[in-house]
Amino acid sequence: MSTFAASHLSPSYPDRAAWGTAPKLRAWQQEAFDLYFRREPRDFLTVATPGAGKTTYALRIASELLANGVIRAVTVVTPTEHLKRQWADAAGRVGIAIDPEFKNSQGATSRDYTGVAVTYAQVAMHPALHRARTENRKTLVIFDEIHHAGDAKSWGDGVREAFEPATRRLQLTGTPFRSDDNPIPFVAYEEDAEGFKRSVADYSYGYGPALDDNVVRPVIFLAYSGEMKWRTRAGDEIAATLGTPLTKDQLSQAWRAALDPKGDWIRQVMQAADRRLTEVRRGVPDAGGLVIATDHETARAYARHLRSITGEGATVVLSDDPGASKKIKAFAASEDRWLVAVRMVSEGVDIPRLCVGVYATSTSTPLFFAQAVGRFVRARKRGETASVFLPSVPTLMGLANEMEVERDHVLNKRPPEDGLDDSLLEQANRKQDNPDVLGDELPFETMETSATFDRVLFDGGEFGTGAEIGSAEEEDFIGLPGLLEPDQVAQLLRKRQSDQQAARRKQQVEEPRQELAPHEQIAELRRELNGLVGAWNHRTGQPHGVIHSELRRACGGPPIAQATVEQIQERIATIRRWATQRR
């Protein structure tokens, strides 16, 4: 078995390698590869950001082990059926024949194959069968997104029983963290200073280093707020502004109203995203867009909106569609504009031309968010950027600002205060027929929704001062060039925000607005400041009172209740300045 093909496989197979990487392994892949063979371990956990090239790295190791006679068979375990075929395609490219159609009922596969690709659920259904296969031949087991082995006790138990006798086990993940206490099989845990057990990776390569190496794209998040109005089951009509401090129930319903295809908010945001896609295509001609929907009915409605916006049909991929894999593969090879999917493409699916996304789901766990955004970060050439549109929801704003944070899986930690649980991820790859919302579902009827541009989040900073849909201010950010270096993105965002602020100050001088009564002006400024403090709270975790105290120390003056118009304005300017600076 020659390893030549594997060593020359594009790091971002099946498409072009990222700028500066072909034909050799990327630096991180070579470093991790060398570390693996220095240690010759039975178990090895590699954590690498989505889009970094884990498949190429794993197949290079498999080729070397086969060539050296350390193993005679390969088993790949994946979260979804589609990924089985994707792995088989990549393995075939380097001369490793993998059967992606293997069924438990078969018991064995053709001798033409070096191994099989199976799902975690498939293993859990018949672990004894897979154990027997593993015992019969010296086997390397590659676990794709190993954290899924903790999705259910039966999955974890099945994986342990089936692959305990494996000669080698290579665990791969882009996101090892979970919110539950289900231990991940074959992953080592060490006790930290607080007494919690924390997962330990043998090699890690995060989004920040990958961005520095031009392996992944920088991600620009465009957040949209807006006015929502709905009617409850009791007949009460409620209005709220997305992006302002709301109770948990108000947020849940306002968010749901925003995503309702019967309202204008989602249509206006998709129009903005399509304008962004047109701009990106000036530099990346085949760039595509992805709308991540919550359920089947909504996905189809979004596709109808996209047809009316673009004049072209959108590819719709549903989790129970037997032709889903073929549709994804066809879209990846085409130059079609839009794909609409029900969460099943949250991880692993390889469509490198995806550059623009609309996060139109209420699923908001860190794990799902990271995997969803991971669909857009795979770089093919230097300067490509990714743009993700999302509602101005504090949870999402915090996750967007923490893109570069690396997490481990921690056992026995305190449950999150908001009650969010990554067990929702298991549902993400299954059929979804009903909408899911944060908190208890509170029946209501969407009456009116409208979107306004809120801000841009990039590299830990926040830019923009809010603007109407279709305004010149919004277009400043929608029209950012699609080919920019990360430092150029930050520089351009700062300049555009500065220009907008200068233009607004000039307009206020030339066209003073109708004078408000003093108490009205102070009340309006307090609302603005409190909204900014709420956003900073979700970004930093600092209590509101602490933030107000820091602003008071920085600007001087009395408590907010006694502050003058000028003092409140100074605090608003200060916290906005904090938001534009990198943490």
pLDDT of residue 280: 94
- Predicted structure pTM score: 0.69
For helices 518-540 and 565-580, the axis angle rounded to 10 degrees is: 30
- Model pLDDT, residue 166: 96
The pLDDT-based confidence of 180 (bands split at 50, 70, 90) is low
Rounded CA gap, 482 and 310, in Å? 19
Lookup: tokens for 440: 């208890």
For residue 56, give Cα distances in angstroms to 23, 143, 366, 475. 12, 14, 26, 39
Considering the chain, what percentage of its residues have pLDDT values greater than 70?
80
How many whole angstroms separate alpha carbon 251 and alpha carbon 394?
A: 9
Q: How large is the angle between the packed helices 518-540 and 544-555, nearest 10 degrees?
A: 120
Mean pLDDT (the chain) is: 81
Which pair of structure tokens corresponds to residue 516?
């408000």
Summarize pLDDT for 297-329 with one digit per residue, the tens: 999 999 999 999 999 999 998 866 777 778 888
Q: Residues of the chain with pLDDT > 90: what percent?
A: 37
Integer CA distances (angstroms), 75 to 55, 62, 176, 333, in order: 13, 10, 21, 27
CA 437 – CA 395 distance, rounded (Å):
13
pLDDT at residue number 543: 74
* Whether residue 59 has pLDDT greater than 90: yes
Position 314 scores a pLDDT of: 94
Over 80: is that where the pLDDT of 239 sits?
yes
Q: Is the pLDDT of residue 531 over 80?
A: no
Pick the more confident residue, 405 or 224: 224
d(Cα 402, Cα 23) in Å, to the nearest integer? Answer: 32
pLDDT for 79-124, tens place per residue?
A: 888 889 989 999 999 999 999 999 999 888 999 999 999 999 999 9
Other residues' Cβ atoms within 10 Å of the Cβ of residue 577 = 10
Q: What's the confidence (pLDDT) of residue 406?
A: 52
Which of 19-23, 368-372, 451-455 is the least confident region? 19-23
Dihedral sign for Cα 68, 69, 73, 76, please. negative
- Torsions phi, psi of 574, nearest 5? -65, -45
- Residues 150-159: what's their mean pLDDT? 77
Terminal CA-to-CA distance of the chain, rounded, Å? Answer: 50
Helix (H) / strand (E) element for 462: namely strand 461-463
Beta-carbon count within 10 A of 431 CB:
13
Please tell me which residue, 240 or 541, carries the higher pLDDT value.
240
Per-residue pLDDT averaged across 338-362, rounded? 81
In a 3-state reduction of DSSP, which class is residue 277?
Answer: helix
Instruction: Give the burial string for 340-376 (b: 16+ CB within 10 Å, else e).
Output: bbbbbbbbbbbbbbbbbbbbbbbbbbbbbbbbbbbbb
Query: How far is the C-alpha of 509 from the C-alpha of 512, rounded, in Å?
Result: 6
Predicted pLDDT of residue 430: 39
Lowest mean pLDDT among 27-36, 60-69, 144-153, 376-385: 144-153
Pick from 152, 185, 180, 154: which is nearest to 169 by CA? Answer: 185
pLDDT tens for each residue of 29-53: 999 999 999 999 999 999 988 888 8
Question: Over 50: is that where the pLDDT of 196 sits?
Answer: yes
pLDDT at 80: 84
pLDDT in tens, 449-466: 999 998 888 877 788 777
Higher pLDDT, 238 or 505: 238
Judge whether 130 and 123 are in contact, CB under 8 Å: yes
The whole-angstrom separation of Cα 26 and Cα 9 is 11
CB atoms within 10 A of CB 496: 18
CB atoms within 10 A of CB 28: 22
For 206-225, what is the mean pLDDT?
87
d(C-alpha 160, C-alpha 263), whole Å: 48
In the Cβ-directed half-sphere of 570, how many Cα atoms lie within 13 Å? Answer: 15
**pLDDT of 164:** 95
Q: pLDDT, tens digit, for every residue of 389-446?
A: 999 998 888 888 776 555 443 444 444 433 333 333 344 333 333 333 444 444 678 9
